[in-house]
Amino acid sequence: MALKRIVLRDFVIVQALDLDWHAGFTVLTGETGAGKSILIDALQLALGARADADVVREGCTQADICVEFDGCARLRPWLEAAGLACEDSSLLLRRTVDTQGRSRAWINGTPATATQLRALGEQLIDIHGQHAWQSLTRPDAARALLDAYAGIDSREVQGCWSRWSQARQALQHAQSAQDSLQRERERLQWQITELDKLAPQADEWDELNAQHTRLSHAQTLIDTAQTTLQMLEDDEAGVITPLGRASHLIQNQEHLEPDFQNIADVLASCMAQAQDARHSLQSYLRRADLDPERLAELDERLSLWMQLARRYRRTPDELPALLAGWRQELQQLDAAVDIEALHAAEQSAQQHYQASARVLSQQRALAAPRLSRAITQAMQGLGMEGGLFEAALSTADSPGAFGVDSVAFLVAGHPGASPKPIAKVASGGELSRISLAIAVTTSELGEAGTLIFDEVDSGVGGAVAETVGRLMHALGRSRQVLSVTHLPQVAACADQHYLVAKQRARQGTLSTVQPLDSAAREAELARMLGGERQSETTMAHAREMLAMARQAPAPRPPPRRAGRQRPQADADRTRSKPGRAANGARNTNGG
């Protein structure tokens, strides 16, 4: 996989740029402030970096970045799983940013997310910046680099750490809350005991009220039943006897008047109903009982219901559900204060974490000397003969998601010196060279087919600069290497040379990028050697540097290591097709 083409429009101070890239080692040079790093910034944005409205050229509505890669057949499974087409092994990434900072992204013409761009970017380009050494002073960055070098996968330890942390937090929470939980438990137990004395049952309240109503009005009900029965049975003023006589009279005349039959039937029905009512009243009076003792019991129980309902601010019929809820809360509290079970779970999780972290520490202990030797070897060719690099392992102050190890990078710049933390190395030149040694050694770790070195050679010069250039040229034999440099010794070793320049135009200051032929390349090297005023001496020196770079044997780069497979992502499917890239660079900035 290699970067094939980059197209910019209205990006920072670039009005329009259409630039082809080639295999091998390519350098970008130019005066300070010309915008050499703008291309790097554009690539990072196309690969999912955070978008900002400041990248839009002044006076324009949006910036547009389009990047094309070839040889991407290896990415086909990833792209297909994400619903993204990959035709003829080419890959096109596009991103736009407007003046509000809003961005849109496409992969092969299909709308995509910045997360998907970043996932692809990890497999396409590896960028080494000039201040990379600063991050290596942090233990977490040093550990990450060592793990990457050794191919260590720490996900199992991270999972164990997460489970241990959760178990530990649960135990700590239970222990800190134990006193308050116990008080809450005692309160619930007391309330449950009080309600248990009443033992309220569902629907009991309604039944108690019905019984109490009947008993409290028992005498009135008996008197009413007796009076009603007397009105039905009385021979003089009762209802049943006259109904019987009337029914008998009307039946005797049915043969004379057929209509009397219906009347006789009605009277017979009334007679039957009156007799049924009499029998029911007689039955009620036989079983009716004033029962003052039962009435007193009901009064007492209803009073207790009302008393507890007022105390707990509930309606009486809610007391059974309240008691059931308290019992459930008490069961939950009894489970929550099971400190022994929580402690056992925490101990088990800790043991699993420690076992997994121990394996991780062993892997790092084996890898640290290998990384130390590889970077030490790279330092020897960068003007630090006898220098020493050491990846030092120690036990961290506290365990963490990545194990129990603390990794620090120590450096000795010359023979006999004791290795010290990289942050305490005073010389800026040494820092740059050490950073470059680390970058060169670790650049072979990933799957990215394109390596970008953004002024990592800052602070070096002379023979060391020549070694840096030859080393990058050697790396370019197996991978595409791009370098932003201010060193003529490095630029002389490149297979391709691009010049970045600023120019004044009606639209303001614009940046251009042009490929250099042999003559223009000699002139640019002469400028880098002696400034704007070129002389025959600087031109001769430039030609000599180019000739020597072509003849000098290149140092052997470190062997490539197999990368790990990246995670897959999802995307929606849409399709558009970009135009073909032409050869060479095409700047269309207005004059």
pLDDT digits (tens, 9 = 90+) for 374-391: 999 988 878 788 889 999
Predicted confidence band at 226 (pLDDT cuts at 50, 70, 90)? confident
The pLDDT assigned to 417 comes to: 82
Least confident of 79-88, 345-354, 566-575: 566-575
Across residues 314-337, what is the average pLDDT?
82
* Residue pair 67/6 in contact by the 8 Å Cβ criterion: yes
Mean pLDDT of the chain: 82
Domain boundaries, the chain: 179-336
pLDDT of 580 over the 50 cut: no
pLDDT of 34 over the 90 cut: no
The pLDDT assigned to 452 comes to: 86
pLDDT digits (tens, 9 = 90+) for 131-182: 655 666 778 888 988 998 888 999 999 999 999 999 999 888 878 777 777 7
Map tokens 């509930």 to a residue: 314
Rg of the chain's alpha carbons, rounded to an integer?
A: 47
pLDDT digits (tens, 9 = 90+) for 83-119: 887 766 788 999 999 999 999 999 988 899 998 998 8
Predicted confidence band at 427 (pLDDT cuts at 50, 70, 90)? low
The pLDDT assigned to 68 comes to: 93
CA atoms within 13 A on the CB side of 205: 16
* Residue pair 126/450 in contact by the 8 Å Cβ criterion: yes
Predicted confidence band at 499 (pLDDT cuts at 50, 70, 90)? very high
pLDDT digits (tens, 9 = 90+) for 453-463: 887 777 677 77
* Residue pair 278/229 in contact by the 8 Å Cβ criterion: yes
Tell me the residue type at 196.
D
* Residue pair 450/70 in contact by the 8 Å Cβ criterion: no
pLDDT of 392 over the 50 cut: yes
Is pLDDT larger for residue 587 or for residue 284? 284
The pLDDT assigned to 348 comes to: 96
Across residues 282-299, what is the average pLDDT?
77
Q: Which of 211-220, 423-432, 499-508, 514-523 has the highest mean pLDDT?
A: 514-523
In sequence order, the 6+-apart residues with CB closer than 8 A to the CB of 452 are: 40, 43, 125, 126, 127, 128, 481, 482, 483, 484
Q: What is each CA distance from 402 to 122, 139, 314, 346, 410, in whole angstroms?
A: 21, 11, 54, 19, 21
Q: Are strands 450-454 and 125-129 parallel, antiparallel or unpaired?
A: parallel
User: What is the rounded CA–CA span in Å between residue 451 and residue 440?
Assistant: 10
The pLDDT assigned to 401 comes to: 93
Angle at 104 between CA 102 and CA 107, to 5 degrees: 160
Q: Are strands 25-29 and 480-484 parallel, antiparallel or unpaired?
A: parallel
Q: Which of 276-285, 360-369, 411-420 has the highest mean pLDDT?
A: 360-369
Across residues 522-532, what is the average pLDDT?
86
Angle at 450 between CA 555 and CA 452, to 5 degrees: 75
Predicted confidence band at 295 (pLDDT cuts at 50, 70, 90)? confident
User: What is the rounded CA–CA span in Å between residue 535 and residue 210?
Assistant: 120
The pLDDT assigned to 158 comes to: 94
Q: What percent of the chain has pLDDT over 70?
A: 87
Torsion 486-489-492-493 (CA) sign: negative
User: What is the rounded CA–CA span in Å between residue 350 and residue 331?
Assistant: 28
The pLDDT assigned to 197 comes to: 84
* Residue pair 49/97 in contact by the 8 Å Cβ criterion: no
